[in-house]
Each structure stands twice: as C-alpha cells, then as structure tokens.
Structure 1
C-alpha cells in the first residue's frame, strides 16, 4: 500500500494543529508578545488543549505572571478547570508562583473551585505563605 494522497482539507487541518501547538507553546514558555499577536488576530483566549488546559492554565502553571496578566486583560477565564478539575489558581499555588497567584486573585479567581482547590493545595503542600494572597487566614 502506498501513502494516502493528501488533499486541501488534510493540509488545512495540519496547519491548524501546527498553529494550535505554537499558541499553546507560547503560553507555556511565557512568550507574551507572540501569544498576544495570535490572540489579537482572533485566536480565542479561552482555547484549551486535549487535556482541557487553557492558555491561562499553562502560563500560570509555568509561572509566567506577565503572560497571565495579558491573557486576563483579554478576557481569559481564571476559573476554567481542566479535564482533571484543576484551576489555574491551584496550579500556581502548587508551583509556589506568588506573582501569578496575586494576578489570578486580583482577577477574582475562586480559591474554593477545583479538585483540589487552591486552598487545599496551599495547605497540603505547606504553602502557608500564599494563604494571605488567597485572603484566608492561616490555620493554627
């Protein structure tokens, strides 16, 4: 059997997948300017990958506060959960990304949302330094 011929639809799908990969990689790497170029050209700010991770989730988890802020300014949902029920705020707490946590809290991210939620993550991983940002007093 020979290779299947590819038509315009296959090429278009391949280009779309390549674009999506590029956009998600910009979020993951904190390439704010490049990412915003795609968003400003029409890529949806709440796009998600096959695991439900949004652009803001990837930027938050990888500690890119400037990218998170740019996404939030463009309307990214700070509370959208991924396929595992995790939120960007819980991911930033898990990673100890104080500036990202502050940005998400300023955007009214819900510390009680998700599994585990941001508060549970802070307590479980001993991130009591972040509880003040989550506007919750430390437990004795």
Structure 2
C-alpha cells in the first residue's frame, strides 16, 4: 500500500511566499506592523544592518511609534549615526514631525550632535520648519551650550537666514544663549558666533530686555563685552 504524502507545512498568514501566479504575495497587516515595530526598535538601537534588512523586507521608512516618532527621529534622539545614514540614503524625511512638533533635523540642535547634523543635512531639511517651540535648531543648541554644533551648522547650512527667529516664548537664539545659559565659555563662544553672522543684539524679549540687559543682570562680563 502506497504511503500517504505528508501534509504541506503551513505558511505564515500574510507571508511573502510566491503565489500560484508567480507573483510575490503582499504581507498581511499584522506582519507589516511587526516589521515596522522592528524597524523603529533597530533605528533607536543603532542596528544599521537590521535597519537595512527590514527596509529591504518591506518595513515602512516613515512608520511611527506611539509618540508619532519615526525611525529617523529615534536614531537622531539616540545619536545612532550609522542607522540614520541608512535611513537618509533610503529617503527618510528630515522634516517629519512627531506628536510634539519636533523633527529629526531640529532634534540635532537639542542633542548637539555634529555627526548627526551632517548626516541629516544630506537629506535636504527645510530650514524654515520650526521646532515645537517655534524656534530653529539654534535655539536649543544656544541654550544648552552646544558650541561645536552651532559652529558647524552656521558654517555649512545657511541657517543664518533664520538667525533672528523669535520663538513662541519671545526668545531669539542670542537671547537664549545669554539669558538661559550659564555665562561660561561655551555660551561665550556661541554669543560671539551668533553676532559674527549678524544676529540682532537689539531685539528684546517679552519683558523688553535685550541680551545685553540679561548679561549685565547676571554678571556675565565676557558676554557683556561682546554685546556692548
């Protein structure tokens, strides 16, 4: 008596196995969602090889997590330069906003990562797109004392075109460097750099104070001399 043929192995629902017509089957929503989740995790962890493999498999480059953050944003926040490089090369949007209103490009001003800024600059970000507070990347970088970032972004991007942008709190980058900084060497350097590219020191905050007024009130002698 002939042996019965074994049952075929079950296929995963939504797999990309060839169909009877020879075409590649589209992944099911559950499988695609898993690929997207894996891509988000790999981007934040800096696993560039997995990012590449998942994109090749069909994961969506503009997938979002529960905070509205995509792979490039997660890579930027964690300073995962190699992963970000893959994403930029594959067309990730540098101006994609998360639920807070920040983008991968403006996030570089928060982290102060020069390497990440250089990578995302290659994606062609729109310099007029604001961060969540209505400022440019220079605002958080100036506040936090990221002098190397400010130097590089001014030298390579043309961002001085928005040098005097006033954010929702009434601050320019120069005002933030002075009023929200600690008066130390990084903030002194940033003040000098902003002035060198034409920042308007006469602009006032909502209380009518200029950067010079803030420097004098805080006893920041070096910065006061730069502004005087």
Q: Quickly name the TM-score band, shorter chain normalised.
A: 0.7 to 0.9
Once residues 145 and 49 of structure 2 are traced to their aligned partners in structure 1, the CA distance between those partners, rounded to angstroms, is 34
The correspondence for 1:63, drawn from 57, 67, 79, is: 79
Kindly indicate whether the alpha-carbon contact (under 8 Å) linking 1:111 and 1:134 is maintained by their aligned counterparts in 2: no
Once residues 40 and 15 of structure 1 are traced to their aligned partners in structure 2, the CA distance between those partners, rounded to angstroms, is 14
Unpaired segments ≥5 residues, structure 2 = 1-12, 14-27, 161-192, 196-228
What does residue range 116-131 of structure 1 map to in structure 2 within 5 Å?
Answer: 116=133, 117-131=136-150
- SS of 1:110's equivalent in the other structure is coil
Matched, 1:100 2:116: yes
Deviation at 1:35, TM superposition (A): 1.3
Give 1:139's aligned residue: 194
Deviation at 1:26, TM superposition (A): 0.4
Deviation at 1:14, TM superposition (A): 6.1
Kindly indicate whether the alpha-carbon contact (under 8 Å) linking 2:61 and 2:92 is maintained by their aligned counterparts in 1: yes
Deviation at 1:111, TM superposition (A): 4.2
Deviation at 1:13, TM superposition (A): 6.6
Once residues 62 and 99 of structure 1 are traced to their aligned partners in structure 2, the CA distance between those partners, rounded to angstroms, is 12
Unpaired segments ≥5 residues, structure 1 = 1-7
Deviation at 1:65, TM superposition (A): 1.0
Give 2:105's aligned residue: 89
RMSD over equivalenced CA pairs, Å: 2.2
Partner deviation per Cα, 1:59-115 (whole Å, 9 max, x = no partner) = 111011111111011010011110101111222221222100111123222344222
Matched, 1:54 2:70: yes
Partner deviation per Cα, 1:39-70 (whole Å, 9 max, x = no partner) = 11111111111211010000111011111111
Larger Rg: 2
With CA pairs under 8 Å and 6+ residues apart, which has the higher RCO, 1 or 2?
1
Give 1:4's aligned residue: none
The correspondence for 1:41, drawn from 35, 57, 65, is: 57
Q: May I ask how many residue pairs the two structures share in their alignment?
A: 130
Once residues 13 and 76 of structure 1 are traced to their aligned partners in structure 2, the CA distance between those partners, rounded to angstroms, is 22
Kindly indicate whether the alpha-carbon contact (under 8 Å) linking 1:112 and 1:119 is maintained by their aligned counterparts in 2: no
Kindly indicate whether the alpha-carbon contact (under 8 Å) linking 1:105 and 1:134 is maintained by their aligned counterparts in 2: no
Per the normalisation by structure 2, the TM-score is 0.51
- SS of 1:59's equivalent in the other structure is helix
